[in-house]
């Protein structure tokens, strides 16, 4: 019985560590959502700008904001909860990215662990860049998508659906921009060679395109292209960096042998 308990301890300790990391990540997201709750009005003013200027509507006392509307008695509070939570995920990115790394790092050797710090240093800036690119893409995506509305019809857009689309789009861009950081980190840890990254480039392009098709909120070709094209470029950039790292590693190994 004792042997079974001792044999089971590492697995239980592993799950305990995972639970601790998830708890800390969730706590960070909740704190971020708390901040998002109070910044809600400012945030929706910026995000709604491609369709309607909410500040102008309030200032002029208009009864509606173009094609946007909120449905139901619980619609406004439900919208605020959902948007605050998504804002919490974005604001807490440094916390859950670090917790992800901290969960994996103990399994690495000394040199691999030092190299994996690269992931922590670059994951947060790349996530922020992805968020910003998604924000820049937003007006173009909205304009193109609304442009498909027939001239004889009026397109009424549910406000919570619109803001869900906006924040999901921005969040997906942020997560997708972690691809090069992830690949280079694996290379620095000695898990993946540069040639192994670039060799299946056709499958990689197909996989990136499939990812864009599945995870973009609308799945339309325009939005897919705006996500897939930068990702493909970042994929090849990561492969090129990994090859340079491999060459430097090979030269250092050759010098050490001599």
Give the pair of three-digit tokens for residue 73.
Answer: 């008695």
Look at residues 91, 77, 74 and name the one whose alpha carbon lies nearest to residue 34. Answer: 91
Classify 255 as helix, strand or coil: helix
In order of 31, 126, 225, the CA distances from 117 in angstroms are 25, 14, 32
Q: Which residues contact 166 (CB under 8 A, 6 or more apart)?
A: 47, 138
- What is the band of 31 on the pLDDT scale with cuts at 50, 70, 90? very high
pLDDT at 33: 92
What pLDDT, in 10s, does the model give residues 42-98?
888 888 877 776 766 666 666 566 677 777 777 778 888 888 888 898 888 888 888
DSSP 65: B
pLDDT at 236: 94
Give the pair of three-digit tokens for residue 111.
Answer: 């040199």
Distance CA(221)–CA(233), nearest Å, equals 18
Q: What is the DSSP string of 74-126?
A: SHHHHHHHHHHHHHHHHHTHHHHHHHHHHHHGGGS-HHHHHHHHHHHHHHHHH
Distance CA(51)–CA(43), nearest Å, equals 14
């Amino acid at each position: 019985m004792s042997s079974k308990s001792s044999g089971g301890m590492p697995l239980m300790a592993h799950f305990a560590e995972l639970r601790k990391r998830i708890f800390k990540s969730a706590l960070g997201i909740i704190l971020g959502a708390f901040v998002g709750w109070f910044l809600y009005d400012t945030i929706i003013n910026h995000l709604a700008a491609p369709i309607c200027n909410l500040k102008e509507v309030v200032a002029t006392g208009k009864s509606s904001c173009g094609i946007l509307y909120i449905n139901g008695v619980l619609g406004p509070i439900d919208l605020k909860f959902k948007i605050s939570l998504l804002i919490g995920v974005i604001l807490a990115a440094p916390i859950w990215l670090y917790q992800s790394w901290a969960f994996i790092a103990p399994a690495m050797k000394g040199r691999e662990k030092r190299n994996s710090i690269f992931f922590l240093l670059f994951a947060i800036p790349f996530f922020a860049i992805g968020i910003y690119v998604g924000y820049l893409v937003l007006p173009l995506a909205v304009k193109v998508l609304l442009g498909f509305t027939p001239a004889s019809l009026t397109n009424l857009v549910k406000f919570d659906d619109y803001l869900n689309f906006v924040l999901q789009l921005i969040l997906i861009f942020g997560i997708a921009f972690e691809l090069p950081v992830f690949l280079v980190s694996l290379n620095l840890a000695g898990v993946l060679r540069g040639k192994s990254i670039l060799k299946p480039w056709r499958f990689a392009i197909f996989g990136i395109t499939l990812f864009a098709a599945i995870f973009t909120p609308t799945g339309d070709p325009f939005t897919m292209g705006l996500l897939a094209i930068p990702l493909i470029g970042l994929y090849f950039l990561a492969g090129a960096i990994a090859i340079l790292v491999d060459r430097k590693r090979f030269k250092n190994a050759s010098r050490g042998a001599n």
